């Protein structure tokens, strides 16, 4: 007879792997990693029943630094991999992480359709308004007049992308914004996002100290989101535009139809064979 060890609740550090992050000192992503593991511990999620999917970029390194099943795919396709996984394995808790370039530029189409599809997963975008891994180019969320990139020396001249507004407009059922410099609130937002049934989008403002040192100032600019959490999408849209982009909190949460496959094994393969027989 074997003696079962007592089940001890997992701590946040139990969800961290042994691999040392490649991130620069001071990077906001460290706190996000920490908040993710705290949220998992808070929810007492089984490590082997959880999967964290990412694409390419500084933030997309996240899966390797956590001790859950991970998939580090190609640039921009994290939501597609995650959607396939969730469709095939609805029993898993699926988290997706990535950056603003990965999610809103090369992966923009998947972002819209993942919001529409409203599968039950949580998408964390670690937004620093810059491509860090390729050493400092403008991303979709970069302001049009940012001239520090050699690629766009006059600035992009293109209005920046509004992630929360797009998520709302395309059907996400949970829209929130967090800040890496406020890990306590962020952890709480992530807990709510994971618990929400449907597609949860959490934009996390995460300063890039290397290519956007001015973002160190964000800690003075963020504030509680100016509107109350609402399930009224028109109100939420209004709040997003009034707030200005630095407000932290739940913006929108509602019940939308969740896309989930409904297989029911009523036939054998031989039944299908017989369908072609004369």
Binding residues for other proteins (CB under 8 A): 19, 47-49, 51, 53, 63-64, 67-74, 76-77, 80-89, 91-92, 109-110, 112-113, 261-269, 271-273, 276-278
* First-to-final CA distance of the chain: 59
Give the DSSP letter of residue 152: S
**Least Å from the CB of residue 47 to other proteins:** 6
Give the strand pairing for 247-253 and 174-179.
antiparallel
**Least Å from the CB of residue 112 to other proteins:** 8
Q: Which of 79, 87, 70 is nearest to 103 (CA)?
A: 79
How far is it, in rounded angstroms, from Cα 231 to Cα 142? Answer: 29
**CA 185, 190, 192 angle in degrees (round to 5)?**
95
**Least Å from the CB of residue 46 to other proteins:** 9
Give the DSSP letter of residue 130: S
- Per the CB < 8 A criterion, the answer to whether 137 and 149 are in contact is yes
**Least Å from the CB of residue 126 to other proteins:** 17
Kindly list the distances between the CA atom of residue 220 and the CA atoms of 78, 180, 186, 214, 246, in Å, as whole numbers in the listed order: 32, 13, 17, 11, 10
Nearer to other proteins (CB atom), residue 9 or residue 159: 9
**Least Å from the CB of residue 194 to other proteins:** 16
Q: Which of 157, 215, 273, 265 is nearest to 24 (CA)?
A: 215
């Amino acid at each position: 007879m074997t003696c079962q060890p007592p089940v001890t609740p997992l701590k946040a550090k139990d969800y961290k792997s042994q691999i040392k992050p490649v991130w620069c000192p001071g990077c906001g992503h460290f706190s996000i990693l920490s908040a993710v593991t705290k949220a998992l511990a808070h929810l007492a999620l089984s490590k082997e029943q959880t999967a964290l999917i990412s694409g390419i970029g500084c933030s997309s390194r996240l899966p390797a630094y956590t001790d859950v099943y991970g998939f580090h795919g190609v640039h921009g396709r994290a939501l597609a991999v995650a959607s396939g996984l969730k469709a095939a394995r609805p029993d898993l808790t699926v988290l997706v992480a990535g950056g603003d370039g990965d999610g809103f530029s090369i992966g923009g189409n998947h972002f819209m359709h993942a919001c529409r599809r409203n599968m039950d997963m949580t998408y964390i975008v670690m937004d620093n308004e810059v491509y860090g891994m390729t050493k400092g180019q403008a991303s979709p969320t970069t302001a049009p007049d940012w001239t520090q990139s050699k690629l766009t020396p006059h600035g992009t001249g293109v209005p920046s992308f509004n992630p929360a507004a797009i998520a709302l407009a395309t059907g996400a059922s949970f829209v929130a914004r967090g800040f890496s410099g406020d890990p306590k609130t962020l952890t709480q937002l992530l807990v709510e996002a994971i618990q929400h049934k449907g597609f949860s989008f959490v934009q996390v403002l995460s300063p890039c100290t290397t290519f956007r040192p001015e973002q160190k100032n964000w800690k003075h600019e963020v504030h509680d989101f100016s509107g109350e959490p609402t399930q009224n999408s028109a109100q939420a849209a209004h709040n997003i535009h009034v707030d200005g982009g630095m407000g932290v909190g739940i913006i929108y949460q509602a019940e939308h139809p969740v896309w989930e496959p409904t297989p029911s094994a009523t036939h054998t393969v031989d039944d299908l064979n017989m369908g072609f027989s004369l």
